[in-house]
Amino acid sequence: MSVRAAEGGKHNVLHPGDIVVLPVDLAMAQDSTGPLAIKVIREMGIQKLWDPSRVHLVIDHTYPAADEKVANLHNLIREFVREMGCRLVEGSISHQHLLESHVVPGMILFGADSHTCQGGAVGAFATGVGSSDMAAIWATGKIWARVPESVKVNLTGKLEKGVFARDIVSHFIGRVGEDGGNYRSIEWKGPAVKTLSISSRACISNNSMECGCKLSVFEVDEATRDYFKKVNRKPLMEVHAGPKANYVKEYTIELDELQPQVAEPGHVDQVKTVDEMEGQHVDQAFIGSSTNGRIEDLAISAQILKGHHVKAGTRCIVTPASRLVFEEAITTGLAETFLEAGAVFTNATCGACVGTHLGVLGENEICISSSPRNYVGRMGASSAQIYLASPATAAASAIEGKITDPRKYL
Partner 1 sequence: MRLSGRAWVFGDNVDTDQIISGKYLTLRDPDEMAKHVFEAARPEFPSGVRKGDVIVAGKNFGSGSSREEAPVVIKRVGISIAIARSFARLFFRNAINIGLPVLECKNYARIVEGDIVEADLEAGILKNMTRGDTFPASKMPKFLLNMLETGGALEAYRRRHGES
Nearest Cα to Cα of residue 361 among 371, 184, 321: 371
Of residues 282-341, which lie at the interface with partner 1 (CB under 8 A)? none
Residues 160-179 that bind partner 1 (CB under 8 A): 178-179
Q: How far is CA 361 from CA 42, 84, 268, in A?
A: 36, 38, 18
Coil/strand/helix, residue 236:
coil
Quick check: 356 binds partner 1 (CB under 8 A)? Answer: yes
Which of 8, 128, 141, 162 contacts partner 1 by CB under 8 A?
Answer: 128
Q: How many binding residues for partner 1 (CB under 8 A)?
A: 42
Q: Does 130 bind partner 1 (CB under 8 A)?
A: yes
Q: What radius of gyration, in Å, describes the C-alpha atoms of the chain?
A: 20
Nearest CA to 134 among 248, 56, 75?
A: 56
In the complex, minimum distance from the CB of residue 300 to partner 1, in angstroms, rounded to a whole number:
27
Residues 248-277 that bind partner 1 (CB under 8 A): 267
Would you give the binding string for partner 1 spanning residues 206-235, x where CB under 8 A is met? Answer: ------x-x---------------------
Residue from 24, 27, 32, 361 that binds partner 1 (CB under 8 A)? 32
Strands 125-128 and 108-112, how do they pair? parallel
As measured in angstroms, the least distance from the Cβ of 244 to partner 1 is 26
Pick between residue 128 and residue 406 the one whose CB is nearest to partner 1: 128
Q: Does 15 bind partner 1 (CB under 8 A)?
A: no
Write down the least CB distance from residue 336 to partner 1, Å: 32
Q: How far, CA to CA in Å, does 246 sit from each of 124, 126, 214, 242?
A: 20, 20, 17, 9
Asked whether the bond before 64 is cis by omega within 30 degrees of 0, the reply is: yes
Alpha carbons 85 and 43: distance in angstroms, whole number: 19
DSSP labels, 113-173: SGGGGGGGGGT-EEEE--HHHHHHHHHHSEEEEEPPPEEEEEEES-PPTT--HHHHHHHHH
- Rank residues 55 and 163 by Cβ distance to partner 1 and give the closer one: 55
Q: Is 406 in the site for partner 1 (CB under 8 A)?
A: no
Taking the least distance from each CB to partner 1, the nearer of 105 and 148 is 148
At closest approach, how far in Å is the CB of 357 from partner 1? 10
Nearer to partner 1, 136 or 258 (CB): 136
To the nearest whole angstrom, how small is the minimum distance from the Cβ of residue 382 to partner 1? 4
Strands 315-319 and 261-263, by their bridges, are unpaired
| Out of 221, 251, 375, 407, the residue judged to bind partner 1 by CB under 8 A | 375
Query: Where does 213-269 have alpha helices with state H?
Result: 222-230
Query: Of the two residues 79 and 238, which places its CB atom closer to partner 1 in the complex?
Result: 79
CB of 89 to partner 1, least distance (A): 18
Pick the closest to residue 115 from 312, 328, 268 (CA basis): 268
User: In this chain, which of 4, 22, 24, 35 binds partner 1, going by CB under 8 A?
Assistant: 35
DSSP per residue, 241-253: --TT---SEEEEE
Q: Which residue in 368, 381, 364, 324 sits closest to 348, CA to CA? A: 324
Q: Whose CA is closest to 55, among 69, 41, 75?
A: 41
* Helix 222-230 × helix 198-207 angle, to 10°: 110
Comparison of 132 and 332: residue with beta carbon closer to partner 1: 132
Q: Which stretch binds partner 1 (CB under 8 A): 92-100, 110-118, 187-195, 329-337?
A: 110-118
The binding track of 57-76 with respect to partner 1, each residue x by CB under 8 A or -, is: ----------x-xx--x---
- CB 325 to partner 1: min, Å: 23
Rounded CA-CA distance 388/301 in Å is 15
Enumerate binding residues for partner 1 (CB under 8 A).
19, 32-33, 35-36, 40, 43-45, 67, 69-70, 73, 111-114, 128-133, 136, 144, 178-179, 182-183, 212, 214, 267, 354-356, 373, 375-378, 380, 382
